[in-house]
Amino acid sequence: MVTQELNYNYSEIGLKVGLEVHAQLISNRKLFCHCKPQLLPAHLEPDYLFERRFRPVLGEMGDFDSGMLVEFEKSYRVIYETFNDYNICTYEMDETPPFMPCMKTIQNGFKISSFFNCASPVDEIIFNRKQYLDGSIPTGFQRTAIIARDGFINLKDKNVRINNVLIEEDAARRVRFYDRSDRNVYFNLDRLGIPLTEIITNHEDCTTPEELLQLGMLIGLSLRILGVGKRGIGTIRQDVNISVSGGSRVELKGIQDFRQIKKYVDREIFRQLALLDIKNDLLERGINKNDFQPNFIDVSSATRDLTKAMVAFAVRLPKCKGIFIRQVQPEKTFSEELFDRCELIAGIPMRNMTHSDDPASWLDLLRINEVLNLHEKDAFVIIKGDQKSVLHALNRLRERMIQALECIPQETRRVNSITGNNEFLRVIHGKDRMYSDTDTPPISISDEMKFHSVDLIKPWELFANFPIDVFDLDFLFDNEFYSDFTTLVKEYPENTRAILGHFQKISCIIHQQNLGRQVLSKHGYTNLIRDLITNKISKDSLKDILVKIDSGYSYDEIKEKYEFIIQEISLDQYRKLKVILDETLNSLNQNNRKKMFYVIKTHFPMLKSEQIAKAIEKMIGGIN
Ligand SMILES: [Zn+2]
């Protein structure tokens, strides 16, 4: 598939993005029971199943959350897969109340909030219930507690605020997912209850996808540096909040590869800008919401391939001709934007929906035109299925058309990792979704638990103050170089890139020579790299030195053998070099230093790299 490269001037369109990071925390039990916080193997057949249906309850302020009502309309039949195993007990099945929460997890929550400079940690942990009617939690709510507010992270030239750090239970994981119109959904209960932290950044503080990527990577790295974050696929999930000027806050979920974030953000920008264009177009055509009347016309007699239980209904959409084939994302039209929403809410597959701009073959168009009596600029949508679902879908479609005149709906949307586009998941949840949990008593927090002094350099301090990027930091941490690196850059701040280069070289040698990383890191790299930076030893000796250390020597024992003073080569040698180079290379310029280096190295194998480098500098200097 050809993917369209999008490029935006982000400040011109007023992009604002923020993150909600959900990361599983290391623990030896689940948050509210003593089950093992581990996933079961994927292929395991469940020992038994049970089923639930969901309905919304009143929020703290006595109202129903509008998002919850839409969830309720989906009327899912939820089937849970359960196993006779140590990972699932009666708590996950909602057959017993929660046990006392895992205190280690709560403590980790405070470690995290201290690390992110949070100014206001709570005195008491109070668990709340956050409604979820998608079936991912059998109780219909997730238990969640706020740990602290008002932290921050530094990027190169700005602070990004951390609004909240929370502790909560992970939801069950959806399995056997084939079809968005299917009203039966399946969940495996093993993931439910695994301790999570949720870190919410201010959604106005990042203004480019690059900043968002840096932010996400720095948060993930911080959790690993703190030693609290689990590792592996699915242990960290990032939702992105995104809006453009005149648009709305939309939440993107299901981002698997965070490094692809620019693509996902760009495609949502495309969508918001396209929807704003469509809105202006509709208003210019003089359309108002009274044009969209809930008069649905039975067109079953003009529709082919209807089974006995099916009907087909149409809605007339005056002056809307041409709107449905407008592109709202690369390879996605406005009709698909509307229909994927109706599909998910009403459970009718998209193939049973059609519109006048590109009518399906199952319509008898001649008869349709007779029945609907359209004007030239009018449009229609026709949906077939069982009558109740069809009318439900048309109502939702009409509602969405009215919204198209007013704003971009605030929605939670799921990213399709293959196309990069996104699709409707649910209406964004409001504040009425929370209410207090009466099962768990408040837990008082001591000051020593609240304020952890963390004796670790924060990755964003390195990132903001030294010429390195987040990928470098990721490399350093993954290879266990992070703490040695922080020591060294503090001593030699102007040599940051060189220090990084030495670690990269060391990592290469470790892989090539299959050396034991642990043996090496136990001896510390700091002395070795100090000597490399101050030219006491040559880069060329690095491999020998590492192999020696791996065989049991300490660096101090062997370093004398490798120490040397880098001398400049003699004038005589220099002249010889110049002749060879002039013969080999037509022109000497800055771009072929690498080539020059290898030419010299072949002719003078006894010279150290540093000596050659110096000679090249001198020759280039001479030419200029
Ligand atoms: Zn359990």
Query: What would the pLDDT profile of 71-113 be if each residue is shown by its tens digit?
Result: 777 778 899 999 987 789 999 999 999 999 999 999 999 999 9
Decide if pLDDT at 566 tops 60.
no
Tell me, in angstroms, the distance from the centre of ligand 1 to residue 112's CA: 25
Residue that wins the pLDDT comparison between 352 and 555: 352
Q: How many angstroms separate the alpha carbon of residue 237 from the centre of ligand 1?
A: 22
> Residue 38 C-alpha to ligand 1 middle, in angstroms?
11
* CB atoms near residue 511 (< 10 Å): 11
Residue 590 predicted with pLDDT over 60: no
Q: What is the pLDDT of residue 597?
A: 79
Average pLDDT over residues 500-524: 86
- Cα(87) to ligand 1 centroid in Å equals 6
**34 CA from centroid of ligand 1 (Å):** 6
Alpha carbon distance 270, 6 (integer Å): 8
User: Does the structure show a pLDDT above 90 at 324?
Assistant: yes
CA of 46 to the centre of ligand 1 (A): 16
CA of 199 to the centre of ligand 1 (A): 25
Q: Percent of the chain at pLDDT above 90?
A: 62
Mean pLDDT of 534-538: 82
Residues with Cβ < 8 Å from 112, sequence gap 6 or more?
A: 147, 165, 197, 199, 222, 223, 226, 228
Confidence of residue 508 (pLDDT cuts 50, 70, 90): very high
pLDDT of residue 2: 45
- Which pLDDT score is estimated for 537? 83
At 338 the pLDDT is 95
Select the more confidently predicted residue: 127 or 450. Answer: 127
pLDDT value at position 568? 61
Q: What is the residue whose two structure tokens read 């709202």?
A: 328
**Where is average pLDDT lowest: 84-98, 107-121, 169-183, 475-489?**
169-183
Model confidence band, residue 398 (pLDDT cutoffs 50, 70, 90) = very high
The mean per-residue pLDDT over the stretch 491-496 comes to 92
As a whole number, the mean pLDDT across the chain is 88
- What is the model's pTM? 0.85
Instruction: Report, as an integer, the average pLDDT of 293-310.
Output: 91
Q: Which one-letter DSSP state was computed for residue 301?
A: G
Q: How far is the CA of 250 from the centre of ligand 1 (A)?
A: 34
The predicted pLDDT at position 199 comes to 97
C-alpha dihedral over 265, 268, 274, 279, to 10 degrees? Answer: -130
- Over range 579-596, report the average pLDDT: 66
pLDDT tier for residue 623 given thresholds of 50, 70 and 90 = very low
pLDDT of residue 1: 43
Distance (Å) from CA 90 to ligand 1 centroid: 6
CA of 30 from ligand 1 middle (Å) equals 7
For ligand 1, the distance from its centroid to the CA atom of residue 51, given in whole angstroms, is 18
Q: What is the 3-state secondary structure (H, E, C) of 387-423?
A: HHHHHHHHHHHHHHHHHHHHCCCCEEEEECCCCCCEE
Give distance in angstroms: CA of 189 to centre of ligand 1. Answer: 9
CA–CA distances in Å: residue 198 to residues 34, 76, 377, 514, 530: 21, 27, 49, 39, 40
Rounded distance from Cα 99 to ligand 1 centre (Å): 9
Residue 609: both structure tokens together: 């790299």
CA 475 to ligand 1 center in whole angstroms:
37
Split at pLDDT 50, 70, 90, the class of 38 is very high
**pLDDT above 90 (res 575):** no
Q: How far is the CA of 88 from the centre of ligand 1 (A)?
A: 5
CA of 190 to the centre of ligand 1 (A): 9
pLDDT recorded at residue 622: 47
Q: Is 359's pLDDT higher than 90?
A: yes
Percentage of the chain beyond pLDDT 70 is: 94
Neighbours of 158 (CB within 10 A): 13
CA of 39 to the centre of ligand 1 (A): 12
**Residue for token digits 């599983």?**
24
37 Cα: distance to centroid of ligand 1 (angstroms): 9
Least confident piece of the model among 335-344, 445-454, 545-554: 445-454
356 pLDDT exceeds 50? yes
pLDDT value for 168 = 97
Higher pLDDT residue, 306 or 328? Answer: 328
- Exposed, middle or buried, 125 (CB in 10 Å: 0-12/13-18/19+)? buried
What is the arithmetic mean of pLDDT over 194-205?
96
Q: Which CATH class for the 282-416 domain?
A: alpha beta
pLDDT attached to residue 62: 73
What is the model's pLDDT at position 427?
84
Is residue 621 scored above 60 in pLDDT? no
Task: Name which of 297, 330, 322 is nearest 422 in CA terms.
Answer: 330
